[in-house]
Structure 1
Amino acid sequence: MHRRDFTRTLAALAATAALPKFATAQAQQAAIRFSVMLWTLNKISPTEKSIELVAQAGYQGVELVGEWQKWSPADYARITSRTRALSLTIDSMAGVRGFADPATKDQLLADLAVALEAAKRLNCPQIILTSGKRTAASSHEACIEILKPVTDLAAKADKQVVIEPIDLLENPTSYLTSVTEAAEISRAINNPHLRVLYDLYHEQRQGGNLIEKIEKNIDQIALFHIASVPGRHEPSTGEVRYEAAYRRIAELKYNGFIAMEFYPTSDALTSLRTAREEAQRAITNV
């Protein structure tokens, strides 16, 4: 090995060693991985059957919304065992909200503590947070002050929180509606335990200009969500040219999860497999 290459290797190892455990595991992944938000399959099959369907379609991860909040200890054990047997990761889980209103701060922290304990039981590295309702007291400054202790809690648990903007067509009361603003908040907190979920479905409905926003904010993005606009169906069926978005994400060396969050319009197994294969073709040889 040449001295220059050796120096680069040492620098890379040192940088990886300095990362939190969840981020170290992420950094060691060489390729983008694909996941499915399980709630989109709820009308088709129960959770465990959906997990099997996702594995059959060739994905590496599954994501939860609020399913985990109703599970018994036996449910946790069974789901964890099943995902492990199918070589799936529970890569992210939602169900916590409310960082835009100072009045909800204490409840948010209490809810997050419960979610972090659940994430530990499920070996899940990431919690999704939405801002909740916009109130007279809502502001970016208020969000930052609330998210600081949120980030501290996540850091103590060695987990990552990702904040997700929701478009106003989906929820007219949502405070955080833009990935650009989410990235500004994340940069202000400046902690790897807090990053941004970029949902291209929500962003297209809210403001568009998807690829430029990927380019400007990739340093803060730790998860992507995908669905067609309009309709929240298969990615290739709407107005967004996802092939170009996937390619740019790969060109920017993103190596986290891209999660499909759409309602299949045909056979779910075929639909999910096709969506993954289309994405993988787009990023091949980038």
Structure 2
Amino acid sequence: MKNLNNQRRSFLKNAALSGALATFTGGMSLAEAKQNESPKRRAFNMNYAPHFGMFKNHAGNDYVDQINFMAEQGFTALEDNGLMNRSVEDQKRIGAALEKNNMTMGVFVIDPGFNWKTGLTTGKDEFKEAFVKECEKAVEVAKIVNAKWMTVVPGYFERRLPLDQQTAHVIDAYRRASEVFEPHNLTMVMEPLSDNPDLFLRHSNQGHLICKAVDSPACKILYDIYHMQRNEGDLIKNMELCWEEIAYIQIGDNPGRKEPGTGEINYQNVFKWIDAQGFKGICGMEHGNASPGKEGETALIKAYHEADSFK
């Protein structure tokens, strides 16, 4: 009888606990509640910047909610390539959310609106003027979100001109843009790309040459590790060769352009080297998620902690 009473009390205790858990989790089982909870926050060694949509399954579609979630997970910056195309209202909401969470705005893209197949390499005044005008607009957008860096790309090769002449045209355009940015302590970062072989700017040494010729703190290199692994490899050596001109870094593993650990790049070693240089800038997470849903987002956060655990 005593055992029966003990069993009854144990049953009632477990039932009460289950009822409390069901109430707390909105009727979900404990397993379901654990599956839906957010990943635990941990600090990172470096300033990694996610982009909108990367954590939408945890945070929803609202920009502010996504920024809040990023901050909760220990991310200290945000990238938004499409910032200039957003409404002023949304730009202000984004800026306010970043300030509230003590986060930094990373790069946004300057898009002059003309076809990049006929870009700055041509030397044509119409393209140069369109580019400079867009840079002037970028200054105003940067003020709203307290940004410092803007991504620029010169466009395609102009096959009818010698390579050196094309380079001279790009240098001239970037000097004009630097005159716009310098008074505001803003920096355009040119990005060598690997998307196709027609792009003029494809290697870090090209960027280094252009920066030296422009000779302005407003003109630096965006070193995208994914693109540079595809175009030139030997990442650490090539970063070292042009390190003094690198102001911004972007991330993506290769092949696939997903989070660190999904491809061939030893990101823990690369991050260790970057940190050892005293880099305090932003490392933008310009890549997709390897897996879908909340599980994929949680795995992405875990991948960054693993790659970031170099100390």
* TM-score tier (shorter): 0.7 to 0.9
Give yes or no for contact 1:54–1:272 (8 Å, CA) kept in 2: no
Q: Distance in 2 between matches of 1:272 and 1:247?
A: 19
What displacement does 1:268 show? 4.9
Q: Distance in 2 between matches of 1:158 and 1:275?
A: 34
Q: Distance in 1 between matches of 2:53 and 2:109?
A: 11
What's the TM-score once normalised by structure 2's chain length? 0.74
Q: Distance in 2 between matches of 1:100 and 1:116?
A: 23
| Structure 2 CA distance for partners of 1:268 and 1:59, relative to 1, 3 Å | farther
Of structures 1 and 2, the one with the larger relative CO (CA 8 A, separation 6+) is 1
* Equivalent position of 2:50 in the other structure: 36
Q: Which segments of 5 or more consecutive residues in structure 1 lack a partner in the other structure?
A: 1-30
| Structure 2 CA distance for partners of 1:208 and 1:40, relative to 1, 3 Å | farther
User: How high is the sequence identity, in percent, across the aligned residues?
Assistant: 24
After superposition, the CA RMSD in angstroms is 2.2
Tell me which amino acid in the other structure corresponds to 1:74.
E
- Deviation per CA, 1:129-182, whole angstroms, max 9, x where unpaired? 112122234622111111111111110222111100111xx1343110111211
Give yes or no for contact 2:260–2:307 (8 Å, CA) kept in 1: no
* Equivalent position of 2:183 in the other structure: 156
* Equivalent position of 1:141 in the other structure: 168
Q: Distance in 2 between matches of 1:197 and 1:258?
A: 10
- Deviation per CA, 1:170-206, whole angstroms, max 9, x where unpaired? 1343110111211111122222111100001001111
Q: Distance in 1 between matches of 2:284 and 2:240?
A: 19
Residue 68 (structure 1) aligned with residue 84 (structure 2) = yes
Q: Distance in 1 between matches of 2:229 and 2:98?
A: 32
Q: Aligned ranges for residues 1-286 of structure 1 at < 5 Å?
A: 32-38=46-52, 45-71=61-87, 73-96=88-111, 98-103=119-124, 104-135=127-158, 136-137=160-161, 139-167=166-194, 170-266=195-291, 267-282=295-310, 284=311
Give yes or no for contact 2:152–2:189 (8 Å, CA) kept in 1: yes
Q: Distance in 1 between matches of 2:181 and 2:274?
A: 26
- Deviation per CA, 1:208-262, whole angstroms, max 9, x where unpaired? 1111111111111011111110111111110111111111112222221111112
Q: Distance in 1 between matches of 2:86 and 2:185?
A: 24
Give yes or no for contact 2:193–2:201 (8 Å, CA) kept in 1: yes
- 237-246 or 252-261, larger mean C-alpha shift: 252-261
What's the TM-score once normalised by structure 1's chain length? 0.80
Q: Which has the larger radius of gyration?
A: 2
- 75-84 or 45-54, larger mean C-alpha shift: 45-54
| Structure 2 CA distance for partners of 1:230 and 1:150, relative to 1, 3 Å | same
Higher strand proportion: 1
| Structure 2 CA distance for partners of 1:268 and 1:57, relative to 1, 3 Å | farther
| Structure 2 CA distance for partners of 1:41 and 1:172, relative to 1, 3 Å | farther
Give yes or no for contact 2:79–2:108 (8 Å, CA) kept in 1: yes
Tell me which amino acid in the other structure corresponds to 1:55.
A
